[in-house]
Structure 1
């Protein structure tokens, strides 16, 4: 018996010894385990600059050999070499250096560099400077992260690096086909190059991130998580397939389901502990109806009113390729979702079918397009009309005689409980808005009207058939006397633009897609005409497409003889390759007009060959003074100089330097420059000898500025030479007219202005 007890005690002692030894080994390993220079460089680089900024500042020639160009760490180390944080003389740009542990010497260089740049507390950083025997030694992981915390505090006062707490769904370790270094979380997709995350799957973690880049995992917060409102996409009897964060996961379901019938195609909450499922709660209650508005915390659904959203509200597209969507994908005015409800809140929206885009919802602005919010709205209909209001529990209907007016003011009891609808009782009835004035006079609208009360006043919304909308956009955007082929090109552009705006859902909070002003497309400002109706009818349902997708069909009034591309708004022009910066003539040649000398010669030439060269705004000039400029520019003293310091594709003004007696300022962006230099008092001399005035902004950003000197009153005069009217991207409307007058067809016009694009039917859009 004693021998057996001795054996047991001996085994227990050995076990204890082994456990203690393992703990010691782990502790020693943790102390000695360093962080690779590659991983440390990534963390430091992303603390100093965003991922996009690192790519933009990449050297023309990498410090690394070409055979390492595809390694993830190259861009970060190249950035640090370029910024002076790494010295290629002491730290070689090779694989061995990158994969070796970061040393105290490197930390010392980083601390000195940040200190030299005046970032943060100098003493806090310099405490990490070490030029002694320890300089070449590897830094332990613990000490590196202590250094990093001090470094981040010093160089990131604006907190570009933020703390994120979220659930980790997956990594390439458990997601087939996932790109390398990709983490799927409750808060979106992140990149984690050089870090280890696989051990945190199905756990709540806290990490530091800049944009979508994880820099450091701080801790595992909990191994108990709930995948709320997940889509159950499959069930085998032993496992359930769950769609979360745009990835498919399989979990064993034995013992976690009480009811195993009708599981697939349901929404549920999956509870896990330590990565093991403990419970699956299905949510089966659904409601359907037309979406009237999408707000931050609620969705307004016809027949149900405004229903609040659950905290972890999800949207899934269940037709075609299953994928998670965003709130902006819920189109107002359409009935294509089922809404899963639990505890009086919408847990998930299921997009069950592709919408047939056949109507658009337009906010009607006040007189002069000054505001969305009306003080009074007065309506009538040319046939019997119906007024509907009240909530789903107390809906009311009033009959309105033909020609009888209805006036709504803020505080009216009929809009107190929500949306009021005014519609014709007969198909084709037209509604007059007596409280509005447009170029046509008192405007008349097809479709129906909706009125809601907001804190700033009343909103007036017109829901109308898309083709009827276009019949009132086309003559408002292009003179109806223009050639039919030009009008047809305009109709196709307007339809394509409208389709994009419907998808964009800019006014979903108010239940609309667009407004009726130049913010989008001018709608129903003028009467309809046979010519523009014909243009819309003959292009029925046609959209402009590039590689099968509807394009950004931008258009503008008049060119200066050369267009520009999508970079005019700061975007990457490669995203819209069909928008070309070329001459607006049959040569379609790309000229280099980015220097002031080249652009001056071009803009002063009134005989430039272009399809729209006969139009008055093709060339214009105006004079302004330092006194006029002072109204919008301050802080530089008396203005003495204006210089375009950089130009974009086609020569538009990209940056403007204003010099004064007490300093200077630089303004960026063509819209900003047009606004700064514009003034309602300026008189524009046009190519045909006529003049125009009253514009608060310059007609275009294609300008050259001459200093005409300072008079005895210390007033400096400038002449601005310009060309064109509008932003210069896409189709010149007057260029289209010029082409049509030369016999070009609608298709030829569109092909010229939107390179590589074709026509598709709206029903063919995926």
Structure 2
């Protein structure tokens, strides 16, 4: 009888106690993702969607996915896309903090924090339009990559001396990026000229513009009425000076001095890294690179990723002496306010 009693107790233990332990263990493990998700909850941001003339409030990470999808080819290496996500996140935070600090109310934002006009802020595309652009064969795969790039770098930003940097970027350098003061007014310590390999993969690494000599004269005269086109057209260009990155810093044409960036704007060139050839009635611009050339080159970033570099290494290559850190609670609070 004793043995039967022990057997009954053992069976009760197996039937009742062990399942309870297993159920408890399962329930504990199922709550862990919720805890993690709560820790990664992002602030919301008000975005003025320029094309639709409306302000929309959205989760910050969701906004960033639209920025990455619009600013960088989704076919790029995942580490390049991560670098783009962190650069874009930092760029926006830097702008929000500066606007708040200086009491700047940006009329182009129509009351929002940021806008989708790439000429003023950063480009942005909705998920729906991005999927339509990529087509049925690639849309799912590409959006998954964008999701991964943004979600796996949640809260990561680039800082210099504990402050978010002005993380500017461009499409394609000419093989070397530019110092900030060669393009804009200020010398910024983390925006230094660096070698950028692999740019030849960009479809806009080189470009060419041919115009008539008459059009060349008219466009320059509209900006500098005092310019003089005398003598041999081959002598119109008197001298020029280059930047460390190889672009035209200043150029003298017909007795007038122009900045390379000014010539780029006048003739709508892809970059300020150009040569000018005047032959009889024809003027030819041969251009290298695409964009202002400061900060991270997107095609250069993709090349580094293909060579096995992680996004942190890519960012530290293009932005000098910076740290890649998780956004602090203090900074998060500063953004929300």
TM-score of the two chains, using structure 1 as the length reference: 0.33
Q: CA deviation at 1:637?
A: 5.8
Q: Does 1:744 align with 2:296?
A: no
Counterpart contact for 2:172–2:291, Cα < 8 Å: yes
Counterpart contact for 1:656–1:667, Cα < 8 Å: yes
1:394-433 correspondence to structure 2 within 5 Å:
none
Aligned counterpart, 2:189: 577
Q: CA deviation at 1:669?
A: 5.4
Counterpart contact for 2:207–2:270, Cα < 8 Å: no
Counterpart contact for 1:473–1:524, Cα < 8 Å: yes
Q: Does 1:665 align with 2:256?
A: yes
Q: Does 1:733 align with 2:298?
A: yes
For 2:220 and 2:275, the matched residues in 1 are separated by 19
Aligned counterpart, 1:487: 81
Q: CA deviation at 1:561?
A: 0.5
Q: CA deviation at 1:493?
A: 0.3
Aligned-partner SS, 1:363: strand
For 2:144 and 2:112, the matched residues in 1 are separated by 28
1:460-471 correspondence to structure 2 within 5 Å:
460-471=54-65
Aligned counterpart, 2:202: 615
Q: CA deviation at 1:765?
A: 5.2
**Could you list the per-position Cα deviations for residues 384-427 of structure 1 after superposition, in whole angstroms to 9, with x for gaps in the alignment?**
xxxxxxxxxxxxxxxxxxxxxxxxxxxxxxxxxxxxxxxxxxxx
For 1:722 and 1:502, the matched residues in 2 are separated by 34
Counterpart contact for 2:247–2:260, Cα < 8 Å: no
For 1:739 and 1:651, the matched residues in 2 are separated by 21
Q: Does 1:674 align with 2:264?
A: yes
Aligned counterpart, 2:147: 533
Do the aligned partners of residues 578 and 765 (structure 1) sit closer, same or farther apart at CA in structure 2, a change above 3 Å counting?
A: farther
**Could you list the per-position Cα deviations for residues 278-324 of structure 1 after superposition, in whole angstroms to 9, with x for gaps in the alignment?**
xxxxxxxxxxxxxxxxxxxxxxxxxxxxxxxxxxxxxxxxxxxxxxx
Do the aligned partners of residues 527 and 507 (structure 1) sit closer, same or farther apart at CA in structure 2, a change above 3 Å counting?
A: farther
Aligned counterpart, 1:362: 47
**Could you list the per-position Cα deviations for residues 184-225 of structure 1 after superposition, in whole angstroms to 9, with x for gaps in the alignment?**
xxxxxxxxxxxxxxxxxxxxxxxxxxxxxxxxxxxxxxxxxx
Aligned counterpart, 1:153: none
Q: CA deviation at 1:644?
A: 5.5
Q: Does 1:642 align with 2:242?
A: no
Q: CA deviation at 1:706?
A: 2.4
Counterpart contact for 2:42–2:59, Cα < 8 Å: no
For 1:517 and 1:499, the matched residues in 2 are separated by 17
For 1:643 and 1:363, the matched residues in 2 are separated by 46
Match of 1:524 among 121, 125, 134: 125
**Could you list the per-position Cα deviations for residues 352-389 of structure 1 after superposition, in whole angstroms to 9, with x for gaps in the alignment?**
xxxx98232222223xxxxxxxxxxxxxxxxxxxxxxx
Aligned counterpart, 1:233: none
Aligned counterpart, 1:62: none
**Could you list the per-position Cα deviations for residues 628-661 of structure 1 after superposition, in whole angstroms to 9, with x for gaps in the alignment?**
22442223465832356233331222223222xx
Larger radius of gyration, structure 1 or 2? Answer: 1
For 1:568 and 1:638, the matched residues in 2 are separated by 28
Alignment length (residue pairs): 263
Counterpart contact for 1:549–1:765, Cα < 8 Å: no
Do the aligned partners of residues 669 and 705 (structure 1) sit closer, same or farther apart at CA in structure 2, a change above 3 Å counting?
A: closer
Counterpart contact for 1:674–1:699, Cα < 8 Å: yes
Q: CA deviation at 1:742?
A: 1.4
Counterpart contact for 2:194–2:318, Cα < 8 Å: no
Do the aligned partners of residues 466 and 644 (structure 1) sit closer, same or farther apart at CA in structure 2, a change above 3 Å counting?
A: farther
Q: CA deviation at 1:534?
A: 0.9
Do the aligned partners of residues 719 and 765 (structure 1) sit closer, same or farther apart at CA in structure 2, a change above 3 Å counting?
A: farther
Point out the structure with the larger helix share: 2
For 2:77 and 2:86, the matched residues in 1 are separated by 15
Aligned counterpart, 2:173: 559
Q: CA deviation at 1:543?
A: 0.4
Q: CA deviation at 1:488?
A: 0.3
Do the aligned partners of residues 527 and 644 (structure 1) sit closer, same or farther apart at CA in structure 2, a change above 3 Å counting?
A: farther
Q: Does 1:763 align with 2:300?
A: no
Do the aligned partners of residues 656 and 359 (structure 1) sit closer, same or farther apart at CA in structure 2, a change above 3 Å counting?
A: farther
For 1:631 and 1:571, the matched residues in 2 are separated by 28
**Could you list the per-position Cα deviations for residues 419-438 of structure 1 after superposition, in whole angstroms to 9, with x for gaps in the alignment?**
xxxxxxxxxxxxxxxxx5xx
Counterpart contact for 2:183–2:292, Cα < 8 Å: no
Aligned-partner SS, 2:220: coil
Do the aligned partners of residues 658 and 483 (structure 1) sit closer, same or farther apart at CA in structure 2, a change above 3 Å counting?
A: same
Q: CA deviation at 1:460?
A: 2.1
Higher relative contact order (CA 8 A, sep 6+): 2
**Could you list the per-position Cα deviations for residues 36-87 of structure 1 after superposition, in whole angstroms to 9, with x for gaps in the alignment?**
xxxxxxxxxxxxxxxxxxxxxxxxxxxxxxxxxxxxxxxxxxxxxxxxxxxx
Aligned counterpart, 2:95: 501
Do the aligned partners of residues 513 and 673 (structure 1) sit closer, same or farther apart at CA in structure 2, a change above 3 Å counting?
A: farther
1:61-460 correspondence to structure 2 within 5 Å:
358-366=43-51, 436=52, 460=54
Q: CA deviation at 1:705?
A: 1.8
Q: CA deviation at 1:746?
A: 0.9
Point out the structure with the larger strand share: 1
Do the aligned partners of residues 471 and 648 (structure 1) sit closer, same or farther apart at CA in structure 2, a change above 3 Å counting?
A: same
Pairwise CA RMSD? 2.3
For 1:669 and 1:357, the matched residues in 2 are separated by 42
